[in-house]
Structure 1
Amino acid sequence: MFEIVFLGTSASAPSVYRSLPAQAILAGEHRFLIDCGEGTQRQILRSGIGFKRMNRILLTHAHLDHILGLGGLMSTFARWENIEEIEIYGGEATLNRVQALLFGVVLDFERLPVKIHLIDLKPGRFFDSKDFTVDAFPVSHRGPGNFGFIFQQKVHRPFLSDKAAALGVPAGPERGQLVRGESITLNDGRVITPEMVLGDDVPGVKLVHIGDIGRTHNVRDHIAGADALVIESTFLHDDADAAQAFGHLTARQAGILAAETGVKTLILTHVSRRYRERDIVAEVRSVFPDSYVARDMDHFVLHRGRPVEKKQATYQEER
């Protein structure tokens, strides 16, 4: 299962209702922050998810609206939060800018109580846990070193309890051994193998996240079949020429991309304050009905074998 909490959904500059780009991906005990626009640390507090285990930050590209919040966030981590190490992933140009921001302006490197690792992203897998993987792939936007991310749940084989019971497998640790792929020997000497009690492979959930993007020809294979695609839609289609000039997508283009690549649910973000939300919704749903335009604090859940669920947005209010 993956959860996505939208901390900031505006494009380039904040609006009255939208903060700058940042999303939290929650996956069991693991947490990832994708992008860190100005004001992200306050948005994390408002969301209620807190800073605990928020120790991996993935940056889509080097533009300031996606990284400027790192200074305040790292300063807070260094002073108040019980986080020993932070990993910040990004392309070379992005990390050069982060290095200048953090160590040239914000932090005193010699007295820093938290270890900050700047990790140069390359296309391919950079995270692998027992339940899921995360891969990076190149994205076309203005400047070098832009990346999208694939969160892929691993294939699961369900344990067939009825079949196990019929074979005389007792309830208890023996069943856990079979789930882990180990054979067991029953008291009567019979050997039970995993193949005898496990069902067919059930594909895992696939979540694809793309930040700013101008051309989509080189990302279609990475997007294909995603349960959810998070992608920008900075412009409406009447302004398609401006979108192309600045390396962005229109809502219509994002919807067509989702339809042509077999995406199940599309979630748009990076929303310009020049447009009304309802106009963006109407444009994208005219070509791809299963679409959302994310708002700050929106919370989506991806379960294996189930449609994407939008939860009631929650946030901390002053008392």
Structure 2
Amino acid sequence: MIQLTILGCHSATPRVNAHPTSQYLEINNNHFLVDCGEGTQRQMRKYKVGFSKINHIFISHLHGDHFYGLVGLLSTYGILSREKEMHIFGPKGIKKATLQMLKISESHAKFNMVFHELSSKESELIYEDDKVTVQTIPLTHRVYTNGYLFTEKPKPRKLNMLNISGYAEIDRADYLNIKAGRDVTLSSGEVIPNTLLTIDPTKPLSYAFCSDTSYKPNIIPIIKNVDLLYHEATFLNDRQDLAKKTKHSTAIEAAKIAKEANVGQLIIGHYSGRYPDTSLFKKEAETVFKNVSLAKPGAVFKIN
């Protein structure tokens, strides 16, 4: 299961009703924070995100609207007497910037912080446990930037109990091996193929987060066939010149990426404040790709 909660989705500076980028991702019982713009912890409280569930934070790049909330959040964890270590993934320099601020402010954050600084321009696996993998999506922005691809690991095969019941020799003790894909050999020497004893598991789900970036078609092989894609769309097509200059994307460009990558659903966000009506982003993107949703604070996207 994937459940994505948008905490903030606007560009540049915070405003009364516009919050910088931050997302809370639940995937296969893992809980991740993705980017941490200013005011993230306030949004976490507003939308009832469990602080204690988060042990991994992924920062795309070191522009303020994507990581200025990090020091405040870590400081709050200190006030809450957190003891469990926190893993923080982000560009080289994030450790120095974060620890220096915490030191100068004499923060209460005494728990262990493990920084995983990134510098590769190639996609790489940066996190893996028994349920999920995370790899980088190299992007092109004014500073070193990565998106992140979160993918469920394949689940065990499901037992076909109707077929299994036809073989008296198969015991419950055999079930784990069967679910792992092994055939069963009966005492007669007959081999029962695993495909007769199991059912294919559900397809592993995936979510791709593409933060600030200019139009970059070479990310398509990395995010091919993902179930859910968030792709920044700072501008409409009327300001493609400004998008190119600032190394951002337009709604149409985000939709082109989604279409070529054959994604299940596209979410667009990071809107420029020059557009009071964000529905225009959806209309423009839908001229290229049909399954488009707008990011907005508090929005929840679920895939089962």
Q: CA deviation at 1:191?
A: 7.3
Is the 2:75–2:109 contact (alpha carbons within 8 Å) kept by the matching residues of 1?
no
Provide structure 2 residue ranges, at least 5 long, that are not aligned to the other structure. Answer: none
2:113 is matched by which residue type in structure 1?
Answer: I
Cα distance change on mapping 1:218 and 1:94 into 2, 3 Å: farther
Is the 1:2–1:26 contact (alpha carbons within 8 Å) kept by the matching residues of 2?
yes
Residue number in structure 1 paired with 2:135: 135
Cα distance change on mapping 1:107 and 1:240 into 2, 3 Å: farther
Q: CA deviation at 1:182?
A: 5.8
1:179 aligns to 2:191 (yes or no): no
Residue number in structure 1 paired with 2:280: 279
Cα distance change on mapping 1:187 and 1:135 into 2, 3 Å: same
Q: How far, CA to CA, are the matches of 1:8 and 1:171 in structure 2?
A: 52
1:24 is matched by which residue type in structure 2?
Answer: Y
1:297 aligns to 2:294 (yes or no): no
Is the 1:125–1:135 contact (alpha carbons within 8 Å) kept by the matching residues of 2?
yes
Is the 1:70–1:102 contact (alpha carbons within 8 Å) kept by the matching residues of 2?
no
2:292 is matched by which residue type in structure 1?
Answer: S
Structure 1 counterpart SS, 2:217 = coil
Aligned-pair identity (%) = 27
Q: CA deviation at 1:193?
A: 6.5
Q: CA deviation at 1:52?
A: 1.6
Once the two structures are superposed, residues 73-108 of structure 1 have per-residue CA deviations (whole angstroms, 9 ceiling, x without a partner) of 1111011153421111012144443344334x4444
Is the 2:236–2:251 contact (alpha carbons within 8 Å) kept by the matching residues of 1?
yes
Residue number in structure 1 paired with 2:152: 153
Is the 1:75–1:107 contact (alpha carbons within 8 Å) kept by the matching residues of 2?
no
Once the two structures are superposed, residues 248-268 of structure 1 have per-residue CA deviations (whole angstroms, 9 ceiling, x without a partner) of 001111111111221121001
The 5 A counterparts of 1:77-156 are 77-103=77-103, 105-108=104-107, 112-121=109-118, 122=120, 123-144=123-144, 146-156=145-155
Cα distance change on mapping 1:160 and 1:7 into 2, 3 Å: same
Q: CA deviation at 1:272?
A: 2.0
Cα distance change on mapping 1:299 and 1:170 into 2, 3 Å: farther
Cα distance change on mapping 1:187 and 1:293 into 2, 3 Å: same
Q: How far, CA to CA, are the matches of 2:220 and 2:227 in structure 1?
A: 14
Is the 2:136–2:146 contact (alpha carbons within 8 Å) kept by the matching residues of 1?
yes
Is the 1:206–1:228 contact (alpha carbons within 8 Å) kept by the matching residues of 2?
yes
Q: How far, CA to CA, are the matches of 2:173 and 2:268 in structure 1?
A: 45
Is the 1:71–1:102 contact (alpha carbons within 8 Å) kept by the matching residues of 2?
yes
Which deviates the most, 147-156 or 200-209? 200-209
Cα distance change on mapping 1:282 and 1:107 into 2, 3 Å: farther
Q: CA deviation at 1:31?
A: 1.0
Cα distance change on mapping 1:113 and 1:96 into 2, 3 Å: closer
Residue number in structure 2 paired with 1:253: 253
Q: CA deviation at 1:245?
A: 0.6
Cα distance change on mapping 1:58 and 1:194 into 2, 3 Å: same
Once the two structures are superposed, residues 168-221 of structure 1 have per-residue CA deviations (whole angstroms, 9 ceiling, x without a partner) of 477855434422446678899987674541234653112111110013133121
Structure 2 counterpart SS, 1:57 = strand
Cα distance change on mapping 1:101 and 1:48 into 2, 3 Å: same
Cα distance change on mapping 1:93 and 1:241 into 2, 3 Å: farther
Cα distance change on mapping 1:97 and 1:215 into 2, 3 Å: farther
Residue number in structure 2 paired with 1:266: 266
The TM-score normalised by the length of structure 1 is 0.85
How many corresponding residue pairs? 299
Is the 2:27–2:152 contact (alpha carbons within 8 Å) kept by the matching residues of 1?
no
Which deviates the most, 184-193 or 293-302? 184-193
Is the 1:67–1:98 contact (alpha carbons within 8 Å) kept by the matching residues of 2?
no
Q: How far, CA to CA, are the matches of 2:243 and 2:29 in structure 1?
A: 38
Q: How far, CA to CA, are the matches of 1:242 and 1:93 in structure 2?
A: 28
Provide structure 1 residue ranges, at least 5 long, that are not aligned to the other structure. Answer: 304-319
Is the 1:154–1:203 contact (alpha carbons within 8 Å) kept by the matching residues of 2?
no
Residue number in structure 1 paired with 2:6: 6
Structure 1 counterpart SS, 2:51 = coil
1:38 aligns to 2:38 (yes or no): yes
Q: How far, CA to CA, are the matches of 1:72 and 1:93 in structure 2?
A: 17
Residue number in structure 1 paired with 2:215: 215
The 5 A counterparts of 1:55-74 are 55-74=55-74
Is the 1:84–1:113 contact (alpha carbons within 8 Å) kept by the matching residues of 2?
no
Which deviates the most, 236-245 or 181-190? 181-190
Q: CA deviation at 1:3?
A: 1.3
